[in-house]
């Protein structure tokens, strides 16, 4: 058993996002499952959600900052340990971060497009590639926020990178293939941002992410300029 970890900012929104995403992947999803829907070893633990497909069973639990939530996660982890086919997905919600608050507005589309135009193809300079990849990823997230604003998602709300990508998918803004590319981009971005300055930036991935940014910005620009 392994535990995956993600971060979003609203428990209800997290449950909605994950239920929709797993359902799109062909899982049978049960939110707040009743005891009779659960195997015996989970009946007293009341997990937030279970997603099941072809013998794969994912228990999704929202974690807040409360001690009770921490204890629930520990009990679920112990219950699933050494159980083949079972996996725990932990989603952290409602965590205060005093060191960062979103600015009052996003950069405008034209500003993002201008910055994107300054980013050249990946080169032989690995450090430069890493710097430009971080800027490129920032443009991706800003473009995603602009696109989701049309779906009534506040553009300056605190939303994790992973949650932004899932929302683009569940709202039909991107397709599965684009989502897979962006997930790979997020993995590379996370490695660089979290201290792994030896992370190689794949040239093909760099160009795919740049293309995704162009499409997100271009589509949004077309929408905002329409009569």
Question: What are 205-210's contacts with CB under 8 Å, separation 24+?
Answer: 205/181, 206/121, 206/122, 206/129, 206/132, 206/133, 206/136, 207/121, 207/122, 208/181, 209/133, 209/136, 209/137, 209/140, 209/181, 209/182, 209/185, 210/116, 210/119, 210/136
| Separation between Cα atoms, residue 116 and residue 136, nearest integer Å | 7
Cβ–Cβ < 8 Å for 91, 12: no
Average pLDDT over residues 32-45: 90
At residue 16, the pLDDT reads 84
Local confidence band at 225 (pLDDT 50, 70, 90 cut-offs): very low
Per-residue pLDDT of 131-162, as tens digits, reads 999 999 999 999 999 999 888 888 888 777 88
Q: Name residues whose C-beta falls within 8 Å of residue 17's C-beta, 6 or more positions apart in sequence.
A: 8, 163, 166, 167, 170
- The pTM assigned to this predicted structure is 0.61
Local confidence band at 100 (pLDDT 50, 70, 90 cut-offs): low
Of residues 3 and 23, more confidence is placed in: 23
Domain boundary assignment for the chain: 3-92, 109-225
Measured CA distances, 136 to 66, 91, 99, 155 (Å): 36, 26, 23, 18
Average pLDDT over residues 116-139: 92
Average pLDDT over residues 61-69: 77
CATH classification of 3-92 is 3.40.50, yes or no? Answer: no
Per-residue pLDDT of 179-199, as tens digits, reads 999 999 999 999 999 999 999
**Strands 56-63, 86-92: pairing kind:** parallel
226 has a pLDDT exceeding 50: no
The CATH class that applies to domain 109-225 reads: mainly alpha
Strand order in the sheet with 86-92: 3-7, 86-92, 56-63, 49-53, 28-31
């Amino acid at each position: 058993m392994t535990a995956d970890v993600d971060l979003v900012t609203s428990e209800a929104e997290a449950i909605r996002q994950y239920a929709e995403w797993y359902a799109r992947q062909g899982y049978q999803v049960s939110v707040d499952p009743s005891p009779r829907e659960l195997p015996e070893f989970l009946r007293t633990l009341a997990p937030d959600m279970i997603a099941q497909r072809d013998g794969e069973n994912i228990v999704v639990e929202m974690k807040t900052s409360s001690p009770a939530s921490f204890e629930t996660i520990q009990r679920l982890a112990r219950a699933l340990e050494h159980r083949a086919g079972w996996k725990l997905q932990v989603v952290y919600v409602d965590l205060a971060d005093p060191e960062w608050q979103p600015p009052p507005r996003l950069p405008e589309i034209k500003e993002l497009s201008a910055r994107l135009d300054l980013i050249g193809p990946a080169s032989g300079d690995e450090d430069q590639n890493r710097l430009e990849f971080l800027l490129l990823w920032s443009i991706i997230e800003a473009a995603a926020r602009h696109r989701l604003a049309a779906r009534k998602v506040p553009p300056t709300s605190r939303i994790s990178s992973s949650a932004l990508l899932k929302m683009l998918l569940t709202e039909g803004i991107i397709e599965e293939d684009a989502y897979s590319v962006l997930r790979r981009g997020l993995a590379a971005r996370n490695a660089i941002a979290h201290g792994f300055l030896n992370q190689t930036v794949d040239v093909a991935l760099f160009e795919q992410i740049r293309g995704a940014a162009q499409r997100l910005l271009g589509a949004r620009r077309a929408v905002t300029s329409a009569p």
